[in-house]
Chains A and B, each alone.
Chain A
Amino acid sequence: MVVFPVLLACSLSLAQTSQSPGAKPPAPSPDGAPISREDVISAWEKGLNDICRVEKIGAMVFTIPGWEPMATWKKQYGVPAMRILAKATRTAWFQVNGVQVFSFAQYDYANYEPMLFNLLQTLDPETVKKAASEGLTLGELGNGSFDMDLLSSLVPDVAFGALMLEKGGNAKIGMQLLPMIEYADPETGKTVRMTLPWAADSPTITPPVGDAPMFSYAPLEPLSTQGPLDFGDGKVLSLKEMVAQAEEAFDTRYYLDFRLADTLVYVRGNMDKATFEKVYALVGDAQPPVERPARASLDRETLQAWLAQHADSLSSTEQLHGMQPADFVEGKTMSAGDLASYDPALRTLFEQRGLSASTQVRLRMGVEFSLDPGGIRSALPPQAAGGRGGVNYGVSNRMRFALIGR
């Protein structure tokens, strides 16, 4: 029997992670054991073989970040597919003489907040209201011109990226207010921000939507290298195995930092020495140890100014337990006890956080987007259950993204 539990813990701020490239730890299985290297290898070998077949890619070198929910799309998209694949896997994408290269080095995390806010500013009040009440499709919202950078920054994994490529136009986007409080931590005195559990729209499973591609096909660079280094039809190797194969093919020795030697790479096709050396400079390097440029961020005052005009369209007094959106937008201050009088369930939450009834809290407001192509995707490899059948772990495809500002 196959059991299919659903994990509903969706990623509220996935794209905001400051995780460093290459640092993605192996995803734990539900019993806490790390996913095996064999699981990682077989998932990527199959996934990238399928993608290369669909996209007609002759040669690829792809640095593998860890286990990933994989899926493939049915049509050839070219450039849009590669951009989404790179963002979903937290890699930087390059084309070297037609070889599709994905490396950890040179990847930087985009902050979706300013991009989502730019989108928000283009919407008229009616559209905001509709998005907050019944939702809109991405196709309706972007009129076919939804920003590629924004979309790819919202994609958490390859399986979700595949859905967005094929069904993106029909994916539902929703909006709601995100009520929060700020308070001084009783122990450290540091300001803590906490979201109130008043979201009306928690992740849930909705029926899958039909195909509606958002991007048209844009061709990749044609393959212009042919050489003695032949990786065949696609396989996963360690970086040291890849280098050893190149050393033998070219009768040349290459430096390899031993700390990177066990990095997994998917390799496919063949290439000459000059091409390999350009590819290896990308996938054989680590992220350079330099100052990280400040990411574009959303200024909180700018967000509050927008909310002052639109908060009423985004929420109902039921969602706010009788409070007014203006209380949050203006940053009203009150005691935790007074706030809990609007929703008694908050008392337990405050007690767990060590807040007394007299602790002063400041009301704050953000906006939450949801993006939902419907259905579920596998979050982990199937877990064998006593050698009979197995357990599949699915997550809702409804993703949530918070706009909070700094």
Chain B
Amino acid sequence: MTRVFVPLLPFGATGERRALRLAPDKPQTFMTEEKAGKPLFPHVPLEKPQPGPLKFGEGKVITLGEFREAAVQAFQTDYYIDGRLEHTLLFVRGSMDQETFDRVYLKVGAATPPVRRPAPSKLRRDELTEWIRNHPEIRDAWVEREGLSRDELLNGNTLSAADLAARNPEFAALLQARNIPPETQLQLGLEVAFTVDAGGFRDLYPPQVGPNGKLQHLHAASNRMTFVVIGR
């Protein structure tokens, strides 16, 4: 599915670039039929844990501080803990020996190292546009609207919000709803959206209980996920 992508040229008090979609997604609450599926990956066995005197039983949620304290008692060894991480919640299950605990604690008891974050690899927008141009099966999937041609989008034409609004009442309504001033300069473009749909829906939040103590709301979300490739 391809959609119109309309990045706006700098406008407003902050001068920040903003993007506006002319063909919004189908609503997230759109439910699809849940179908019997088959697993995508074959089973790959996990490492077997080394049992030991530190026992957590069948599984429970405890704080990092409690996790450390259990190890101090089990191994009669003192461990450092940073007080700011002490209330982090962990699910723990099974048993482990001291060597295993030492390695596990190094992973779950540490903070994210305070180092430079590597620059994420970026997709250039002109690369994406070129790719769309060369793939007609994607490019032509976008149905041209009245007043807006595919070529204009691929060429990245610029025009004012007033001009775009004049071409199609649908665009005018959208621009008005977003309070975009008529003199704002817009640059047209195309993005590629992927959807992954396992069908059905899932609960987003725990059930909400009303003041009377009875269950009142369940908040569900569609299992249709959308991922958008825009480029920078």
Partner pick for A291 among B77, B85, B113, CB 8 A cutoff: B77
A 235-266 to B, binary, CB cutoff 8 A, 1 in contact else 0 = 00000000000000000111111011001000
Q: A1 at the A/B interface (Cβ < 8 Å)?
A: no
**Can you name the residue of chain B whose Cβ is closest to the Cβ of A289?**
B109
Nearest-neighbour CB distance to chain A for B227, whole angstroms, equals: 22
Inter-chain contact A288/B84, CB cutoff 8 Å: no
Contact yes or no, B102 A291, CB < 8 A: yes
Closest to A252 in B: B116
**Inter-subunit contact A280/B82 (CB<8 Å):** no
Q: A263 contacts B114, CB within 8 Å?
A: no
Assess the B83–A289 pair: CB atoms within 8 A.
no
User: Given A259-B85, A286-B85 in contact, is the A291-B114 Cβ separation under 8 Å?
Assistant: no
Residues of B within 8 A of A21 (CB): 82-83
A255 and B112 contacting across the interface, CB-CB below 8 Å: yes
From A20, A23, A280, A283, residue with most partner B Cβ within 10 Å: A20
- B82 contacts A286, C-beta separation under 8 Å: yes
Given contacts A290-B106, A291-B77, A291-B102, contact A260 B113 (CB under 8 A): no
Residues of B within 8 A of A257 (CB): 85, 111-112, 114
Q: Which residues of B contact A287 (CB under 8 A)?
A: 80-82
Residue-wise interface mask of A (273-292) relative to B, using a CB-CB cutoff of 8 A (1 in contact, 0 not): 00001001101111111111
Asked if A22 contacts B83 (CB within 8 A), the reply is yes
A159 to chain B, nearest CB (A): 23
Contacts of A252 in B (CB 8 A): 116-117
- Of the candidates B79, B111, B115, which one forms a contact with A260 in the assembled complex, judged by CB atoms under 8 Å apart? B111
The reply to whether B116 and A277 form a contact with Cβ atoms under 8 Å apart is yes
User: Is residue B110 within 8 Å, beta carbon to beta carbon, of the partner chain?
Assistant: yes
CA separation between A104 and B86, bound complex, in Å? 14
Interface assignment of B56: CB less than 8 Å from any CB of chain A: no
Contacts A254-B116, A256-B114 given; does A290 touch B80 at CB 8 Å: yes
From B68, B105, B117, contact of A255 by CB (8 A) = B117
Instruction: List B contacts of A283 (CB < 8 A).
Output: 114
**Are B116 and A259 in contact, CB atoms less than 8 angstroms apart?**
no
Return chain A residues, CB-CB under 8 Å to B114. Answer: 254-257, 280-281, 283-285
Q: Which of A1-59 contact B (CB under 8 A)?
A: 18-24
Contact partners of B111 in chain A: CB under 8 A? 257, 259-260, 285-286
A288 near B117 with CB under 8 A, answer no
The answer to the question of A105 belonging to the interface, with a C-beta cut-off of 8 Å to chain B, is yes
Contact residues of B: prevailing secondary structure: loop
Q: Among A277, A289, A294, find the residue whose CB has the most chain B CB atoms closer than 10 A.
A: A289
Assess the B110–A23 pair: CB atoms within 8 A: no
Per-residue A-contact encoding for B51-94, CB less than 8 Å = 1, 0 else: 00000000000000000100000000111111111101000000
Nearest CB to that of A285 among chain B residues?
B114
Q: CB < 8 Å: which of A104, A288, A292 contacts B78?
A: A292
Nearest CB of chain A from residue B21's CB, rounded to whole Å:
27
> Would you give the 0/1 interface string for A138-150, flagging 1 where the beta carbon is closer than 8 Å to chain B?
0000000000000
**Within the complex, what minimum Cβ distance (angstroms) separates B53 from chain A?**
16
B116 touches A22 (CB 8 A): no
Whether the pair A260, B116 counts as a contact (CB closer than 8 A) is: no
- The answer to whether B86 touches A23 (Cβ under 8 A) is yes
A289 touches B116 (CB 8 A): no
Docked CA distance A24–B114 (Å): 22
Q: Which of B80, B83, B85, B102 contacts A24 (CB 8 A)?
A: B83
Q: Report the minimum CB–CB distance from B162 to chain A (whole Å).
A: 35
Closest to B114 in A: A284
How far is the CB of A90 from the nearest CB of chain B, in Å?
10
> Is B116's CB under 8 angstroms from A288's CB?
no
Q: Known interface pairs A253-B116, A253-B117, A255-B115. Does A105 touch B82 (Cβ–Cβ under 8 Å)?
A: yes
Q: Mark B99-127, 1 if CB is under 8 A from A, else 0.
A: 00010011011111111110100000000
B106 contacts A289, CB within 8 Å?
Answer: yes
A23/B83 contact (C-beta < 8 A), A260-B111, A291-B78 known: yes
- Which residues of B are found within 8 Å of A284, using beta-carbon distances? 114
Q: Would A288 and B83 count as touching, CB distance under 8 A? A: no
CB pair A288–B80 under 8 Å, yes or no, is yes
Type the 1/0 row for A355-397, where 1 means its CB is closer than 8 Å to any CB of B.
Answer: 0000000000000000000000000000000000000000000
CB distance from A380 to the nearest CB of B (A): 21
Closest 9 CB pairs of A and B: A23-B83, A284-B114, A289-B109, A286-B82, A286-B111, A257-B111, A287-B82, A22-B83, A257-B112
A-B contact pairs, 8 of them (CB 8 A): A20-B81, A254-B114, A260-B111, A284-B114, A285-B114, A286-B110, A287-B82, A289-B108
Binding site for A on B (CB under 8 A): 68, 77-86, 88, 102, 105-106, 108-117, 119
Known contacts A277-B115, A286-B82; 9 further A-B pairs (Cβ under 8 A) = A252-B116, A254-B115, A257-B111, A281-B114, A283-B114, A286-B111, A287-B80, A289-B109, A291-B79
